[in-house]
Amino acid sequence: MATTTLMPLDPALSPQRVSRILLTHGHLDHSAGAARLAGLTGAPVLAADPALRRSPGERGGAVESSTGDGGLAPGDVLTEAGCELRVVASPGHTADSVCLLLSADGALLTGDTVLGRGTTVIAEDGNLADYLATLDRLRALADEQQLSRLLPGHGPLLADPAGVLDFYISHRRERLAEIRAALAAGDRTGEEIVARVYADVDRNLWPFARWSVRAQLDYLAGRGELPPGVSP
């Protein structure tokens, strides 16, 4: 389960224990076991989405935790046994996505905002305009905090944060250029655009590509760039 726990940086400081369970976002591969873990450890679940917050042993909906309201608001700092994490809002992949900055190690836990392999899909509950703004914000953070590593929820550690984020930003610009070119060529449905833009991608992945195309068309629609007759 891709949750994050606060643990002592130096085991000699105190016996290790799960103090808080932090969710980077609500997709089930990151959150499904959180309530169970809370019951086993006595630790509250903190999340940006109120519906995901849990007090130990709770099975119902949003509840107050022993650490306030259980939220993860931008700029919140969580400390425990020598470990300090700062919450960085990163909407885009989902509306509730957050990253967690471990300043002492020059590291950023990215959830699904940045992956260890490949690039992130804009999920059905995500938004491309938000994601582009998030990438710009994280790129600035990489310089500001002199980040040395990204710690994704999937895949390996990434040792070149600035380079990875530059690639993500350029990749998104290239994809948008390809979508605009497909529209200029006469494509009017998401399926037609996927077939053109993602022709070299395994067809088994086309449903996920469809999500991205929908997000890109919604983005272009918001900028008044869609020609008549386009069906996102």
Give per-residue pLDDT as tens, 152-162: 999 999 999 99
Partnered with residue 89 across adjacent β-strands are 98
Q: What is the pLDDT of residue 56?
A: 62
User: How does residue 164 score in pLDDT terms, banded at 50, 70 and 90?
Assistant: very high
Window from 77-81, 178-182, 192-196 with minimum mean pLDDT:
77-81
- CA–CA gap between residue 206 and residue 194 (Å, rounded): 7
Q: What is the pLDDT of residue 54?
A: 87
What percent of the chain stands above pLDDT 90? Answer: 77
Average pLDDT, the chain: 89
Mean pLDDT of 167-189: 97
What percent of the chain stands above pLDDT 70? Answer: 88
Q: What is the DSSP string of the chain?
A: ---EE---SSGGGS------EE-S---HHHHTTHHHHHHHH-PPEE-SSGGG-B-TT--SS---BTTBT----TT-EEEETTEEEEEEE-TTSSTT-EEEEEGGGTEEEEETSS-SSS-----TT--HHHHHHHHHHHHHHHHHTT--EEEESSS--BS-HHHHHHHHHHHHHHHHHHHHHHHHTT--BHHHHHHHHTTTS-GGGHHHHHHHHHHHHHHHHHTT-PPTT-B-
User: How does residue 5 score in pLDDT terms, banded at 50, 70 and 90?
Assistant: very low
Mean pLDDT of 25-54: 94
First vs last Cα of the chain: how many Å apart? 33
Q: What is the pLDDT of residue 15?
A: 61
62 pLDDT more than 70: no
Contact of 32 with 26, CB cutoff 8 Å: no
Mean pLDDT of 218-223: 96
Tokens at 194, concatenated: 């996927």
pTM: 0.86
Q: What is the pLDDT of residue 17?
A: 82
More confident residue, 19 or 24: 24
60 pLDDT more than 60: no
Instruction: Describe the crossing of helices 206-222 and 128-144 by its angle, rounded to 10 degrees.
Output: 90
Give per-residue pLDDT as tens, 84-112: 999 999 999 999 999 999 999 999 999 99
Q: What is the DSSP string of 100-140?
A: EEEGGGTEEEEETSS-SSS-----TT--HHHHHHHHHHHHH
Q: What is the pLDDT of residue 3?
A: 47
Mean pLDDT of 22-33: 96
Mean pLDDT of 121-134: 95
